[in-house]
Amino acid sequence: MSVTAAQGFRAAGVTAGLKASGKPDVALVVNDGPSRSAAAVFTSNRVAAAPVQWSRQAVSDGRADAVILNSGGANACTGAEGFQNTHRTAEKTAELLGVSAGDVLVCSTGLIGEQLPMDKLLPGVEAAAKALSGEGGAEAAEAIMTTDTVKKEAVFSGTGYTIGGMAKGAGMLAPGLATMLVVITTDAQIEAAALEMALREATRVTFDRTDSDGCMSTNDTVVLLASGASGAVPDLDEFSRGLGMLCSKLARQLITDAEGASHDISVTTINAASERDAETVSRAVARSNLFKTAIFGKDPNWGRVLSAVGTTDAAFEPENLNVTMNGVQVCRNGGVGDPRDQVDLEGRDVAVVIDLKAGEESATIWTNDLTHDYVHENSAYSS
Amino acid sequence: MSVTAAQGFRAAGVTAGLKASGKPDVALVVNDGPSRSAAAVFTSNRVAAAPVQWSRQAVSDGRADAVILNSGGANACTGAEGFQNTHRTAEKTAELLGVSAGDVLVCSTGLIGEQLPMDKLLPGVEAAAKALSGEGGAEAAEAIMTTDTVKKEAVFSGTGYTIGGMAKGAGMLAPGLATMLVVITTDAQIEAAALEMALREATRVTFDRTDSDGCMSTNDTVVLLASGASGAVPDLDEFSRGLGMLCSKLARQLITDAEGASHDISVTTINAASERDAETVSRAVARSNLFKTAIFGKDPNWGRVLSAVGTTDAAFEPENLNVTMNGVQVCRNGGVGDPRDQVDLEGRDVAVVIDLKAGEESATIWTNDLTHDYVHENSAYSS
């Protein structure tokens, strides 16, 4: 399933020993063609990891034959040696597959500021190449997990073609993109330029609006590979819609598995003067630690929503604001609305809707609550 | 002490019954003159509480005779009724003191979105007026506490005059300003315009750089009252310096008592191209939940510093960045520096220094770690 759901792809996940836990930590996805169109988007963090710097360059010609991924080390802030290690990883993969190193993308995830143990990683790459299979998607999805508790996969069936994807990401989930590695494959016949346009639009309204803890990673990468193996030339609208749905499904899986989360929260701003305003307001609320701890405490503390909205430059009048939490309009016209004890926050899903009454645009940010477990997991991560 | 350290001021703190705990909740500070110069700065949150809206207007003429403060309710997002309640509070105070309501500032702190119980508050104002005393500073400082565990006071002795202040603030501490109420008094002889200039500069580099949880309040107010009772006309440089020191002391007390904090952290950015760059970088790090949880876990995870720095638009080259934690240069030239296990994070104070190597400006943001107790206190606050 996932990255091997589409025809023309093989994948593998193996254990190289990068993780202290002894769990799988190297994944490989290979496009057997006939086409090798590719597009990718990367973190906008200016402190970009070595594999991001490498892959950004490698995919710029619109072609990629394979993606080699490792968990157990981010290879970020590792200087010239770190970049050389990424280069060696790509070369080793290329050699084993009989392709050019410049057509191998590299992704890494794990702790920042440590060199990768190449004496373990390179044999891992070799093992992964040997284990490649048309059924290897699930193993690959498992090998990219870090603090993820479940693997993330999704599939979309288009007219005569398939799109499949895998993702990892649990902490450091924030826009542009969330901390995530995502590989998506399709057997549709589609050119790199069209792939890139579809991918940018899909990530803009899915992964870019997934904001678990406001922290932007150094390693985020979303890769889309097209083999053309189905022979189907997709309708571009359908393909974009399908890709968007697939990315949305993966993004929701990321939020649901976010570190320590006990509530999945959608923050939707409606009737904004612009989509940017709507996104800004939703994100300000989604990033408020006070709002997030209140939801953890099952407390419909709408004052913390309003105080976050008030920090933005979006167009609105404070005395017009409405806030609805799980269907109850707790704030009406900037003041007290229906009784807050009518709001039921026992379930996992929380929907907050903010009405700016300033236009017709809307946007949703997906986030989660701030819990004891988040603090616990993140205070213990590298030590 | 504190607001009654300077001559010409009386204060009181009483229990009106606004707090379920039965602790003091109404404070009154009165300027007996001969001068009544005043200046104030307020939250930049666009969702401003009723008392902020009132006081902003009342102080605009540079005069204030008294400040009436209550804990146990923020009177924010309370509509026309809330504003009327603030107005009634000012009128009641004015009537008791024989001054004009337009010269009475009002401050409130507590839960957002609930009307104040005026049947308790107004008798409380009366009790406070009766209890006024030249020794009442400590009682006043106690009555403005919410989740504060200790009262905050500071005094500066100038040449022939005194500046004294009190503050409250524990959660929702963020810039522009932190969630805080601060009243500062001086018996120096000084005009409102000079007061305002000195106050703006002092808050800019103290309270505005205190960022506990990134959440900006609806009620922040810092008031400075001058009685002229000492007869001393201060040197403006000395006065500004003294005021800055006093604000800095109060700001540090706020951070040290921030909800659930176990470490007090200074994040200093040096060699920045501009002061704005330095502040932006320090604030990005200070607001990173991943950085803050790492410090809670006594983990010198400098990768989380760099990943926060990388989200800013400050001038720097990633490969030039140095990061020092409690004296150990853990990151050198964007890569691995001295061993992270040399960093001692057992103590309460943590100093992080980020060297951008892009200029000569610097700025410090004071923050604290993100702990289980923060999550606990803030998930239980209104319920």
Last residue in a domain, options B256, B289, B320 = B256
The reply to whether B240 and B269 lie within a common domain is no
Comparing CA positions, the residue from A173, A31, A62 lying closest to residue A109 is A173
Q: Under the phi-then-psi rule, with left for phi > 0, alpha for psi from -120 to 50, and beta for the rest, what region is A205?
A: alpha
Q: What is the pLDDT of residue B174?
A: 43
Q: How far apart are CA A306 and CA A310, in angstroms?
A: 6
The reply to whether A324 and A209 lie within a common domain is no
Is residue A292 within 8 Å of residue A320, measured between CB atoms? no
The reply to whether A270 and A132 lie within a common domain is no
Beta-bridge mates of residue B142 = none
**What are residue A65's phi and psi, to 5 degrees?**
-95, -25
User: In Å, how far is A338's CA from the nearest CA of chain B?
Assistant: 11
Token pair, residue A212, equals: 């678990």
The reply to whether A80 and A153 lie within a common domain is yes
Q: How far apart are CA A9 and CA A166, in angstroms?
A: 13
Q: Best residue in B115, B292, B293 to probe A by mutation, most A CBs within 10 Å?
A: B293
Q: What is the pLDDT of residue B44?
A: 78
Name the active-site residue from B15, B43, B109, B179: B179
Q: What is the pLDDT of residue A155?
A: 93
**A215 confidence band (pLDDT: 50, 70, 90):** low
Beta-bridge mates of residue B106 = B68
The reply to whether B176 and B309 lie within a common domain is no
The reply to whether B215 and B328 lie within a common domain is no
Q: What is the pLDDT of residue B177?
A: 35
The reply to whether B243 and B273 lie within a common domain is no
**A255 confidence band (pLDDT: 50, 70, 90):** confident
Q: Exposed (0-12), middle (13-18) or buried (19+): which is B118, by Cβ within 10 Å?
A: middle
SS3 assignment, position A68: strand
Is residue B293 within 8 Å of residue A379, measured between CB atoms? yes
Higher pLDDT residue, A61 or A181?
A61
> Containing H/E element for A294?
helix A289-296
The reply to whether B210 and B309 lie within a common domain is no
Residue owning tokens 């009518």: A342
CATH number at residue A289: 3.10.20.340
Would you call A113 and B333 a contact, using CB atoms and an 8 Å cutoff? no
- Using a CB-CB distance cutoff of 8 angstroms, which residues of chain B are in contact with residue A114? 336
Q: Under the phi-then-psi rule, with left for phi > 0, alpha for psi from -120 to 50, and beta for the rest, what region is A17?
A: left
Kindly tell me if the per-residue pLDDT of A218 is higher than 90: no
Domains: count for chain A:
2
Q: What is the pLDDT of residue B1?
A: 67
The reply to whether A99 and A198 lie within a common domain is yes
Higher pLDDT residue, A225 or B170?
A225
Q: Where do runs of H (alpha helix) occur along B180-318?
A: 192-204, 236-256, 275-286, 289-296, 302-309
Give the mean pLDDT of A310-323.
92
The reply to whether B291 and B220 lie within a common domain is no
pLDDT, tens digit, 9 for 90 and up, residues A155-173 = 999 999 999 999 887 654 4
Q: What is the pLDDT of residue B185?
A: 94
Question: Nearest Cβ partner of B290 from A215, A321, A336?
Answer: A215
SS3 assignment, position A165: strand
Q: What is the pLDDT of residue B64?
A: 94
**A129 confidence band (pLDDT: 50, 70, 90):** very high
The reply to whether B73 and B150 lie within a common domain is yes
Concatenate the DSSP letters of all residues of B157-173 into one string: E-SS-EEEEEEE--SS-
Would you call B299 and A380 a contact, using CB atoms and an 8 Å cutoff? yes
Q: What is the pLDDT of residue B246?
A: 92
Last residue in a domain, options A228, A256, A284 = A256
User: In Å, how far is A102's CA from the nearest CA of chain B?
Assistant: 24
Q: What is the pLDDT of residue A368?
A: 87
Q: Where do runs of H (alpha helix) occur along chain B?
A: 50-58, 79-97, 118-131, 137-143, 192-204, 236-256, 275-286, 289-296, 302-309, 372-379
The reply to whether B239 and B304 lie within a common domain is no
- Using a CB-CB distance cutoff of 8 angstroms, which residues of chain A are in contact with residue B310? 45-48, 216, 218
Q: What is the pLDDT of residue A243?
A: 94
CA A52 from chain centre, in angstroms, equals 15
Sheet (strand A162-168) strand order = A37-42, A221-226, A181-186, A162-168, A152-157
Between the CA of residue A294 and those of B68, B69, B254, what are the distances in Å?
29, 26, 22
Nearest-Cα residue of chain A relative to residue B375: A293
CATH number at residue B48: 3.60.70.12
Query: From start to end of A298-348, where are the E strands?
Result: 322-325, 328-332, 335-336
Nearest-Cα residue of chain A relative to residue B301: A382
Kindly tell me if the per-residue pLDDT of A26 is higher than 90: yes
Is residue A331 within 8 Å of residue B77, measured between CB atoms? yes
Position A94, amino acid: A
Domain of B168 in residue numbering reads as 2-256
By DSSP bridging, strand B349-355 and strand B328-332 are unpaired
SS3 assignment, position B286: helix
Last residue in a domain, options B224, B256, B288 = B256
DSSP state of A243: H
* Angle (deg, nearest 10), helices A118-131 and A79-97: 20
Q: What is the pLDDT of residue A173?
A: 46
**What are residue B354's phi and psi, to 5 degrees?**
-110, 120
Query: From start to end of A273-378, where are the E strands?
Result: 322-325, 328-332, 335-336, 349-355, 361-368
Q: What is the pLDDT of residue B170?
A: 62
Q: Under the phi-then-psi rule, with left for phi > 0, alpha for psi from -120 to 50, and beta for the rest, what region is B260?
A: left
Comparing CA positions, the residue from A148, A152, A123 lying closest to residue A140 is A152
User: In Å, how far is B74's CA from the nearest CA of chain A?
Assistant: 10
Nearest-Cα residue of chain A relative to residue B115: A336
Low-confidence ranges of chain B (pLDDT < 70): 1, 170-179, 212-216, 378, 380-383
Q: Which residues of A are annotated as a binding site for substrate?
A: 146, 168, 179, 259, 378, 383
By DSSP bridging, strand B335-336 and strand B328-332 are antiparallel
**Residue A347, C-beta contacts closer than 8 angstroms, at least 6 positions apart:** none
Kindly tell me if the per-residue pLDDT of A124 is higher than 80: yes
Q: How far apart are CA A342 and CA B62, in angstroms?
A: 45
Would you call A381 and B217 a contact, using CB atoms and an 8 Å cutoff? no
pLDDT, tens digit, 9 for 90 and up, residues A318-338 = 889 999 999 999 999 988 899
Q: Best residue in A219, A288, A290, A376 to probe B by mutation, most B CBs within 10 Å?
A: A290
Kindly tell me if the per-residue pLDDT of A125 is higher than 80: yes
